[in-house]
Structure 1
Amino acid sequence: MAEPKAPTATIIKQHSEVKNSLPFADTRDFDDASKGFIATLEPTTVTNSSNVPVWNNDVYDFLQGDSPLTANPSLWRQSQLTAKDGLFEVTEGIYQVRGLDLSNTTFIEGNEGVIVIDPLTSRETGEAALKLYTDSRGVKPVEAVIYTHSHVDHFGGVKGMVTQDDVDSGKVTILAPEGFLEHAMAENVYAGTAMSRRAAYMYGATLDRNQRSQIGAGLGQTVSTGEVTLIAPTDIITTTKETRTMDGVLMEFQMAPDTEAPSEMLIYFPGRKALCAAEDATHTFHNLLTLRGAVVRDPHGWAKYLTETIDLFGGKAEVVFASHHWPIWGAHHVVTFLTQQRDLYAYVHDQTLRLLNQGFTDLEIAEEFVLPPALERAWNTRGYYGSISHNVKAIYQRYLGWFDGNPAHLWEHTPVDRAQRYVTLLGGTDATVAAAQTAFNSGDFRWAAELLNHAVFAHPGRAIETASARALLADTYEQLGYGAENGPWRNFFLSGTKELRSGNFGTPTATASPDVIAQLTPEMLFDALAVQVNGPAAWDVRVSMDVVVTDMAVRYRLWLSHGALVYSKAEQKGEAEVTLTGTSRALTAMAVYGLDAAKLEENGVVVEGDVAALEGLAALLEAGDPNFNIVTP
């Protein structure tokens, strides 16, 4: 693999402008991020049962002193803050562990035990966080676990803190907002293969940790790679102002669906005058459309819920803490912070709508968009995780979709076909690379990337013809990475650099773990199978299958109709060719093994009828490819 290249004069000049335009002398965030520190792991490394590291925060020890020329000074500052790890006291009776995963976990002390909020991403980091807490505060029983929302970094470590038996016996309550389980399943299963592959780019999963490579992800440093676990909620919050008292701790909830997550809630602790903002108010402009891929989020509703937060708790809360980053103390500062966050989402939403209604496209709006100076210079509104550029495009997509109205963009050629035509027009691959080199030398890396992308895609499967284009495109992405203020942008650019130089690294981690799959409802399971059917191969196939779910006393009929796998609970005419019978949990083996009769029976599913029909349906299923190409055709 080629050695990293030095930053160009263009990038060095850009970094100098950043240093001169932002208030780097303001060190309040560093004071707040260190406040209440008690202890940390030494070393800050977490391993799995095979002694393989699943988390290592010590690799970020290089984040010291002034920013290097290979990193945007603003992102470097953010990474210094998010890399701070350990157990911290937020206020009396509330403690956070930060820097042991992408997210934080919080311990609320009650009369006898503790309530855990958001137990991190994986079993191993969850267990390590609990031990760090108990080593300093003493062993206390976990009375309840609260999931603030439906993203994996806020529930995946639950079995590092409690067991399924604890919950089944009633010893531990699992509390979550309405819709939690359905949304947690949908995001991690239906499009899980593609999301996981792209997430490897977004978090720089395979990148080295150093000044020239991965320095963080803006929201946290990266995601742990341990075992993702899940225990289904036993208590659901449905209404704002709903309360619970657990182990003597009174909690008031605010529902905030379709904000940072489809299922999300905030929590106020009146006795501690503390507000948990979940992930709706953090020290960054968050993603409206995460670069790994997801449903576009609603900034209009997001802003409205933050207004409601201020109305409900402003002036009361003396500290606000969240599922990422560090707290804010002081009633006045809490309101200022929440107001800045609210105004950010409201302004970007409203101004994007104003401009699209004047006929500007998403690219044009994103290129010219400027925040009010008061928001532009506030550190907590900077685009470390969600940039102005891609969030504006997300809002455009939410309201108008992918088409900008220009007929020339209605029926474009595929990337390979378009690339071949552009390269021919430019006089061939050598001429295209030469033009890109000129753009690179002038500091126009965006144009160089576009030209070189065409040169690479014009020759699918022929690396020799594109060697020079790949090499220069890798260098170009590297410079764009060095310049990026947004953590995921930097990781995307540098991951592209790595794959161009050393080959496809695939998908190092996936969130569709056995625990997650085990929570699929039958209909979610059928939907997951349906998106795997090779439609053209199934056009003329007629297969019917009954699935009997014994613990739900329900029978489903599934059948192929013009290549689509459909299902119904209604009674159908005739007999199905094959019948599968089992509990809802046993039937989730279909998500793991497909429709392999022997494997299904090994896992407690009874197969009756024409096994050949089941095999015929199984032959039509195509699992996703976790190694699909991104920067090459």
Structure 2
Amino acid sequence: MKTKQLIGYPLLFSMLALSQAALAYDFTAKTKDASTYTKQANEQVYKELDFSNKTAFADTDRGFIAPLLNNGDIDGVFSATAMNYMQDKKAPASVNPSLWRHAQLVNRGGLYKVNDHIYQVRGQDLSNLTVIETDSGIVLYDVEYSGKALKASLDLYEKHRGKRELKGVIISHSHADHFGGFAGIYAAGLATPEDVKSGKLPVYAPEGFVEEAVSENVNAGNIMARRAGYQYGNVLKINEKGIVTGALGPALANDASTLPIPNHFITKDGETVKIDGVDFVFYLVPATEAPAEMVMFIPKWNALSMAEDVNHLQHNIYTLRGAQIRDAAAWAKYINLALGRWGDKVEVQFGPHTWPVWGNKNVVEYMKDQRDLYQSLFDTTLRYANYGYGPDEIAENAKLPKSVFNKWDNRPYYGNLKNNLKSTYIRNLGWYDGNAAKLAAYPDAERGQRYVEAFGGEQKVLDAALKSFNKGDYRFATELLNNIVASNPKNQKAVLLMADALEQLGYQEETALNRNWYLAGAQELRMGGNVPNSLATTSPDVIAALPADSLMPYLGIITDQIKAEKAGNHLINLNLKGEKPYSIDLHNGVFNTMGDFSAKNAEVTLDISKLDLLTFLAGKSPMSDLVKAGKAKVTGDAKVLDKLPGLFDLTIRNDMNLVLPLQAGNRIK
């Protein structure tokens, strides 16, 4: 009996000590300083990388003509002034020194000369605006994310190079930061929407652009825009304890994007397009950085743009905002093919992100290093997988060549190395690693409830997490605390300690996006959720601009199938103005459509424009009013149409929680 009591004393003393530690800890919602462990981790970075190499600083300044207008500040959208707070300063303890160095490089902004015919505005948005001067006008290559940012970039270019006729627009791929600012062209008076629709202004994009742009920015646009706000740090304050950089550029402009519909598509490799006297040679590079992407070579000036397939950083194989996992092997293959095609000719490589590279030798070496990066990610993942390692084990244990991964141009500022290794595994083998226990795993809330119960209660989990936190093991502290937060978000001590652990992880991160995710997660926890969000890729204008072949599947996605099931089975013919006919089969609550088809036994036929259809479905205009106004024609049983408003979630909230459990108002009921 005495022996048992003596054995119990150390445990009792340990529990008392942890309780004292809990009493002493600052459980408040305020931002904390970098801990001793974080300071030590960040100081170690100086010993691992060659900070004496200043070549990149000279390259970023090369060709500088003028600073951004108004110092790059656009009210409510973008502040380049604020994003330059790190220039000429040593990294603070709250920022990884390597990431701080990259921010000093990429957060520079202004108008730059690439060569006698190519100019770039950098630093006004996450992406660059490239202006290519042709025989009598200009071609724009990628048009930023924000229309307001693009307008400011165009104003800067015109101030120093004059106003020239717009002869064409080239969009390299299907990500919104490369086409979302298209409305800025109209605002600058360079073209009208009718010029694009009629083909007077040629707009070029790779095959599959519309389908992939809709897939990311519309079909999954609401959740992607929400996650993008965390990923790019748009929900964070601009300071050394908040956003440092967007890695590809200073930051993503805090604005809604637009979706242009190109009128020319590149469909085959080697396709040459002459625009105002200049030949552009295009090659398709699908499933690399974007599902639909193309690179181009301008023989007249031996100028190459690899679009977003080469950058002065390691890119994402899987982006944490959510998207299809990319193919690292294809990525490396296409860079290698480009070297084979143009390696003996190229004199400059420029792109929609970061800064150019000049001189044949430098360009070739740079591209080889980027090629080796993605090939190594693929080969290493599959080699370890064939030995039986799962994705998490590979991410933690894979040994990689320093000659590839320690180069400044390959550092993980945007794509995180561990994430890239895991993602390559999942793309090739799926999420399941062969351990049957993973098949039985509970979701967070269910697992958390059982974990806390097995541990002996929330206080014991909290004490264990605080012990890990005080040892600098912020990863395990976060894992422990997530079990409480997922099952009982009202436990404020657990919520606030988890925020502090995420914050320290963010301070140590070399990857800008991971830093932003950690710090945004901490902010959500401290605010109690519902963090405001201004980013949007599914605005009413975007939805109304969708081709019918994209609009119909989108309506299926946002159908409330339980309400639709109660509405009964109905067959409807739809004739959209300027589009082909569609048959809608609302069956068992599922919204099915068929294009170029009209059902013979349809209950009702509706003739209407896309915009008026959306207004009707949103419940803003009764069908009877639209018919009276001559905006719609109904043939057959009009009562069937009256069942449609209310079946479609046309306005989904975009302030949902990503760390805390979803608030009741944003759950599907």
TM-score bucket (shorter structure): over 0.9
- 1:579 is aligned to 605
Deviations, residues 387-442 of structure 1 (Å, cap 9, x unaligned): 11111121122122222222211132221111011011111111111100000011
Q: CA deviation at 1:315?
A: 2.2
Show structure 2 runs of 5+ residues with no match: 1-27, 186-190, 662-669
* Residue 658 of structure 2 is aligned to residue 630 of structure 1: yes
Q: Which amino acid aligns with 1:480?
A: L
- Measured in 2, the distance between the counterparts of 1:600 and 1:304 equals 55
* Residue 349 of structure 2 is aligned to residue 324 of structure 1: no
Q: Which amino acid aligns with 2:235?
A: T
- Measured in 2, the distance between the counterparts of 1:216 and 1:75 equals 8
Q: Which amino acid aligns with 1:511?
A: T
Q: CA deviation at 1:225?
A: 2.5
**Equivalent runs, 1:242-281 vs 2, <5 Å:** 242-281=271-310
- 1:352 is aligned to 381
* Residue 551 of structure 2 is aligned to residue 522 of structure 1: no
Q: Does the 8 A contact of 2:619 with 2:645 survive in 1?
A: no
**Equivalent runs, 1:4-19 vs 2, <5 Å:** 4-19=31-46
Change in 2 beyond 3 A, CA 1:192/1:169: closer
- Measured in 2, the distance between the counterparts of 1:53 and 1:629 equals 23
Q: Does the 8 A contact of 1:46 with 1:124 survive in 2?
A: no
Q: CA deviation at 1:16?
A: 1.3
- 1:424 is aligned to 453
Q: Does the 8 A contact of 1:148 with 1:176 survive in 2?
A: yes
Match of 2:326 among 267, 272, 297: 297
- Measured in 2, the distance between the counterparts of 1:249 and 1:121 equals 26
Q: Which amino acid aligns with 1:472?
A: L
Q: Does the 8 A contact of 1:97 with 1:129 survive in 2?
A: yes
- Measured in 1, the distance between the counterparts of 2:379 and 2:64 equals 40
Q: What's the secondary structure of 1:144's corresponding residue?
A: strand
* Residue 45 of structure 2 is aligned to residue 21 of structure 1: no
| Deviation larger for 29-38 or 245-254 | 245-254
Q: CA deviation at 1:589?
A: 5.2
Q: Number of aligned pairs?
A: 624
* Residue 500 of structure 2 is aligned to residue 472 of structure 1: no
| Deviation larger for 505-514 or 589-598 | 589-598
Q: Which amino acid aligns with 2:81?
A: D
- Measured in 2, the distance between the counterparts of 1:522 and 1:136 equals 42
- 1:395 is aligned to 424
- 2:15 is aligned to none
Show structure 1 runs of 5+ residues with no match: none
Q: Which amino acid aligns with 1:568?
A: M
- 1:120 is aligned to 144
* Residue 340 of structure 2 is aligned to residue 315 of structure 1: no
- Measured in 2, the distance between the counterparts of 1:155 and 1:620 equals 31
Match of 1:58 among 50, 68, 81: 81
**Equivalent runs, 1:13-412 vs 2, <5 Å:** 13-47=40-74, 52-64=75-87, 65-161=89-185, 162-168=191-197, 170-412=199-441
Q: Does the 8 A contact of 1:188 with 1:512 survive in 2?
A: yes
- 2:593 is aligned to 567
- Measured in 1, the distance between the counterparts of 2:625 and 2:71 equals 41
Q: Does the 8 A contact of 1:589 with 1:600 survive in 2?
A: no
Q: What's the secondary structure of 1:91's corresponding residue?
A: coil
- Measured in 2, the distance between the counterparts of 1:160 and 1:334 equals 32
Q: CA deviation at 1:217?
A: 1.9
Q: CA deviation at 1:298?
A: 1.2
Match of 1:551 among 578, 582, 587: 578
- 1:499 is aligned to 524
Identity of aligned residues (%): 39
Q: Does the 8 A contact of 2:223 with 2:654 survive in 1?
A: yes
Q: Using structure 2 for the length normalisation, give the TM-score.
A: 0.89
| Deviation larger for 284-293 or 410-419 | 410-419
Change in 2 beyond 3 A, CA 1:407/1:615: farther
CA RMSD of aligned residues (A): 2.2
| Deviation larger for 300-309 or 242-251 | 242-251
- Measured in 1, the distance between the counterparts of 2:261 and 2:469 equals 52
Q: What's the secondary structure of 1:618's corresponding residue?
A: coil
Q: What's the secondary structure of 2:68's corresponding residue?
A: coil
Change in 2 beyond 3 A, CA 1:433/1:631: same
Change in 2 beyond 3 A, CA 1:12/1:356: same
Deviations, residues 130-170 of structure 1 (Å, cap 9, x unaligned): 11011111111111111011111111222312322333565
- Measured in 1, the distance between the counterparts of 2:584 and 2:488 equals 43
* Residue 26 of structure 2 is aligned to residue 2 of structure 1: no
